[in-house]
Amino acid sequence: MPYAAPVREMSFCLSNVIGLDKLAATARYAHADAETVQAILGEAAKLADEVFAPLRRNGDLHPAVLENGVVRTSPGFKEAYAQFVEGGWAGVTAQEDSGGMGLPIAVGTCVNEMMAGANLALSLCPLLSAGQIEALEHHASDELKAIYLPKLTSGEWNGTMNLTEPGAGSDVGALRSKAERNDDGTYAISGQKIYISWGDNDITGNVVHLVLARLPDGKPGTKGISLFVVPKYIPDADGNPGEANSLRVVSLEHKMGLHGSPTCVMEFDGAKGWLVGEEHDGMAAMFTMMNNARLGVGAEGVAVAEAAMQHALAYAQERKQGRTPVGDGNGTIADHADVKRMLMTMRTLTDASRAVALDCAFSLDMAVAAEDEAERKAHKARAAFLTPIAKAFGTDVGCEVSDLGVQVHGGMGYVEETGAAQFFRDVRVTAIYEGTNGIQSMDLAARKMMDGGAAARALLAEIEATAKALEGTSLDDLAMPLRTAAGQVAAATEALLAQELNDRFAGAVPFLRLWALGLGAHYHAKGALAAAGGHEGETRAALARFFAATQLPLIPGLAAQAGMGAAPLYALPAEALA
């Protein structure tokens, strides 16, 4: 069952829900008008549909392998990536002076979603490069930028992110990798890193590692960590890959899914590296890449949800079983009430999570493009608040929707040949990497509330404005449910602000989810308002009403969980659970 990039849905969301026109009105993104963006998305869709998607199953059946110290990627990946590079897609959002297109992150997020929906394993390679490009743009020296940005932006080289170690996962400050100063101003990097996506391959000319390590005088914890560029091949005087650096792939992880994506255990043995940013301040630079990656990973979840939805819908529209309750009774399983429920849930959750991701991207864009400093500052705070929601909700939805996709297929969903199970196996890790969804929730409940709830209240005002806009229209029946939900989210937020930190952490996951559902209803309502009248309006109104009817009633229960505090969690010692 072929994948079709959802260009129409993306374009509608950008123009009618998010506000692409506001971006195009800025000097920075004046070239990103609706017509130009539509053309770009159309071209990206061709690559996703015709080149990436046909290789998704191939990557699952024929994983990347490590042969004689070299990673060999899945058959067809090298040729597909070459077409990606030829089209200039690696530099969609990169600055134009480095050879990029200079397009908004919102547009890049759409392109990333298409590639991930078509082939998540292959799409991870350029996604990580995009994050590294942003980190180098903001923190690297001009010399490093001149060497690495053109190659990364073109896609000739790919970038990686090396944080995790066997004894230092989410607790990055516990890392043991070391850096020693060399006489020539470079550094010798030694240590082992694990879970390094696309840490080696045979499809790019060089692999550029961003590596966190500690200098001898680095303080314990994250404040004493530095960041280094450590290439597989050291660039020569002309900027081309030269001598091999002192690093190697120890092994490839045997994973539940994403078999086509080589996840490496990397060993650095006095490898030559170059400092990015200041000594002992590596986390600031790495967080630039991590925040980029968190939005990107959220979009990966949306992407797989979309692909799984398409796969399940196509099957449901063909499969006949039992007498159906509509027409002559000889319809497909798509007419059965429970299957209909699953399909509607899949569609509305996918659309809601996409809107969260694109709204987050929009604010990241406006934070640099808005003419007014106060507006830039407000959008920066807005983007910071939305980032953990975009990552956690997007990936949770990817897992939930792909799980429902297996259920729609029934017994055939559990049979690998149908391809339904691959979506779930591939997407499951997205809720774990780039900061687990629990960590994202804790970030929302703590760090993102350090402003006393100002960013949260600003978003709640937007939801209230949408509720008001619904009044007196054909969608008037949605106004009160949305206003009620906004009030419940507001009350939960104020209650959380009064809690101690560990009590906040205890209820952080349901707190993030209730926010996501409130925002999801807001976006669905905005879309229905924009499309009011005609068949499009009827469709979006039906989706908005279904989401409001099925998801908004969950908010009070989530609020109760969010406010329960930590005491119930510590009522029993862990050994009592055995």
The pLDDT tens digits of the residues spanning 102-151 come to 999 999 999 999 999 999 999 999 988 988 888 898 899 999 999 999 99
- Res 281: pLDDT: 85
* Residue 515, in any domain of the structure: yes
User: Half-sphere exposure of residue 214, counting CA atoms within 13 Å on the CB side?
Assistant: 16
Angle between helix 282-316 and helix 337-369 axes, rounded to 10 deg: 150
Domain range for residue 550?
440-570
Residue 116: inside a domain: no
Answer yes or no: 306 catalytic. Answer: no
Tell me the three state secondary structure of residue 219. coil
pLDDT of residue 248: 96
- Please enumerate in sequence order all residues whose Cβ is within 8 A of that of 323, keeping only pairs 6 or more positions apart, or say none: 329, 330
Task: Give me the pLDDT at residue 100, please.
Answer: 87
Q: Out of 434, 462, 464, 575, pick the active-site residue.
A: 434
Length reported for the chain: 578
Is residue 503 domain-resident?
yes
Structural domain count, the chain: 1
Q: What is the DSSP letter of 168?
A: B
425 to each of 271, 309, 415, 564, how far by Cα in Å? 35, 15, 13, 33
Q: Residues in the chain with pLDDT < 50?
A: none
Query: How many C-alpha atoms does 123 have within 13 Å on its Cβ side?
Result: 31
d(CA 233, CA 183) in angstroms, rounded, equals 20
Residue 260 lies inside a defined structural domain of this protein: no
Contact indicator for 261, 64 with CB cutoff of 8 Å: yes
Q: Are strands 263-276 and 187-197 parallel, antiparallel or unpaired?
A: antiparallel
CB 351 within 8 A of CB 524: yes
**Please, are residues 260 and 119 in contact by the beta-carbon 8 Å criterion?**
yes
Closest to 131 in 3D by CA, of 270, 13, 293 = 293
Cα–Cα distance for residue pair 49/28, rounded to 1 Å: 30
For residue 57, give the nearest of 77, 34, 81, 87 by alpha carbon. Answer: 77
Two tokens, residue 188 = 């010798």
Question: CA–CA separation, 7 vs 354, rounded Å?
Answer: 12
Please indicate, yes or no, if residue 493 is contained in any of the structural domains.
yes
Helices 337-369 and 534-551 pack at an angle, to 10 degrees, of 100
Flag whether 297 is in a domain.
no
| Inter-residue contact 405 to 376 (CB < 8 Å) | no
Please state, in angstroms and rounded to a whole number, the distance separating the CA atoms of residues 244 and 235.
9
Percentage helix, strand, coil for the chain under 3-state DSSP, each rounded to 5:
60, 10, 25
Sign of CA dihedral 321, 538, 357, 560: negative
Q: Is residue 419 part of a domain?
A: no
Which pTM does this prediction carry?
A: 0.95
Q: Which residues of 402-441 are buried (b: 16+ CB within 10 A; e: fewer)?
A: bbbbbebbbeebeeeebbbbbbbbbbbbbbbbbbbbbbbb
Q: Is 464 domain-assigned?
A: yes
